Structure 1
Amino acid sequence: MTEPHPPVLAVSTVIFALRPDAESGFMTLWLPLVRRTREPHLNLWALPGGWLPADEELAAAAARTLRETTGLTPKYLEQLYTFGDLGRSPGNRVVSVVYWALVQSGEADAAAVDDNVQWFPADRLPDLAFDHNHIVEYALWRLRTKVEYSRIAHAFLGETFTLAQLRDVHEAVLRRALDPANFRRMIESSGTVVDTGLRLAGVPHRPPRLYRYNDSQTLAEQGPLGPLVG
């Protein structure tokens, strides 16, 4: 009897950014995909990723493959899930450790884009290679769950922001309108933001207050492991 081949380890990353939707005009979630240049699934779009070298940490490999394929170096990188169903890849069994990243619009605009790297609306993806549609669906579910109870929206914003800008992020992620007064009460009572005492400049009428996130709260709930970006 021949010995079974051990599983092959790989890393992939789902990167979300908020960008305007050409159809609706509203800000929506987008993500970059890379075109497969070899079999299996030649020419299909896929998540950025690659094989895991024996001498590289998981998070470092995820950050490296992301940088090499898209030019992106996100501040927020968190392990999402491990996907290892039988038959998810032809040939050897492949177990993928998937990370997710959030980037601001300016960072997304600076990403490498060519025939083999393109941005797609997260809710209107083509058929992707392997099980990558399923992975993106899971990442969207996780993001929409976390945005309501954590400070994860900070990754889409600058250091300071108005409550209206913060609400815009929540509405874009959740795909539904939020009552401004209720949203303000929820955010102010949560203790996640701090009034800077400054106001947004260059706007007509009374300029809105600028807030920042409470530095005593971490961007991601990573437990005792600490930051995952190497």
Structure 2
Amino acid sequence: MYEPSDFPPFAVTVDLVVLTVRADELCVLLVRRGEEPFLGQWALPGGFVRVSEAVDDAAVRELGEETGVSGLHLEQLSTYGEPGRDPRMRVVSVAYLALAPDLPVPVAGSDAAAASWVPIEEVTTLAFDHARILSDGVERARAKLEYTALATAFCGGEFTVAELRRVYEIVWGVALDPRNFHRKVTGVEGFLVPTGESTARDGGRPAALFRRGEVGVLSPPLVRAPGS
């Protein structure tokens, strides 16, 4: 029979993968660590869960304290608990994901020396195992665009198919065939609703304007593949 003394002390933390599209790039919210370990390195926002605190509440608190960003819908991404992932002690982290448009410029606080939106393509090394967590978060976000109408949130109230396609290209990181994409998104019942209006803001001939439909889950889903 095991005794409590057989187990070393450990802590629970939260880490947050917050993604948005800024200046035609998929960006992640990062903080520069203001203390050891990994002093001065970029990391995902997060921190320790307090003794009397729910894990979900800790995620909201840490995001606000370290970056000033609040009011996001956070979904649990995964749990990370490999031995040695934190040099201080055994630490199990619950990671969260948020993907949203129009997010504000972050303001560093708490133990963060700086906070910034960083293009995914420019992220090199991160503290702890945050590179793995970020990779998992980006993959989850890309999958969400396959089966939900989330991409329309990054467009205006009325948008062209080309503008919507650009969101998919930025998040998926691939170029999409315009004709195939147009056929697929307009073929999903309830995804897009024609407004009856058109615009020339994309350049070239006037393009039809659409708004988001009522459907939340896309059926069939949009398959993510180069040239699709």
Q: What TM-score, normalized to structure 1? A: 0.79
Q: Does 1:5 align with 2:8?
A: yes
1:1-230 map, 5 Å: 2-20=5-23, 27-104=24-101, 106-108=102-104, 110-112=105-107, 116-195=114-193, 197=195, 199=197, 203=201, 206=206, 208-214=208-214, 216-217=215-216
Structure 2: unaligned runs, 5 residues or longer: 219-228
Q: Contact 2:14 / 2:48 at 8 angstroms: preserved in 1?
A: yes
Q: Can you list the C-alpha shifts for 1:53-94, whole angstroms capped at 9, x where unaligned?
A: 233332232122112221222543211111111110013211
Paired with 1:146 and 1:159, the residues of 2 have a C-alpha distance of 20
Q: Give the 3-state SS of the residue equivalent to 2:140 in structure 1.
A: helix
Q: CA RMSD in A?
A: 2.6
Paired with 1:58 and 1:165, the residues of 2 have a C-alpha distance of 37
Q: Can you list the C-alpha shifts for 1:163-193, whole angstroms capped at 9, x where unaligned?
A: 2221111011112211122111111222252
Q: Contact 2:66 / 2:108 at 8 angstroms: preserved in 1?
A: no
Aligned residue for 1:226? none
> What one-letter code is carried by the residue in structure 1 that aligns with 2:163?
Q
Q: Contact 2:75 / 2:97 at 8 angstroms: preserved in 1?
A: yes
How many aligned positions are there?
210
Paired with 2:200 and 2:183, the residues of 1 have a C-alpha distance of 26
> How far did residue 160 of structure 1 move?
3.8
Provide closer, same or farther for how the CA distance between residues 86 and 200 of structure 1 changes in structure 2, counting only shifts above 3 A. Answer: farther
Paired with 1:60 and 1:160, the residues of 2 have a C-alpha distance of 35
Structure 1: unaligned runs, 5 residues or longer: 21-26, 220-230
Paired with 2:41 and 2:126, the residues of 1 have a C-alpha distance of 6
Paired with 1:56 and 1:199, the residues of 2 have a C-alpha distance of 51
Q: Percent identity?
A: 37
Paired with 2:150 and 2:91, the residues of 1 have a C-alpha distance of 30
Q: What TM-score, normalized to structure 2? A: 0.80
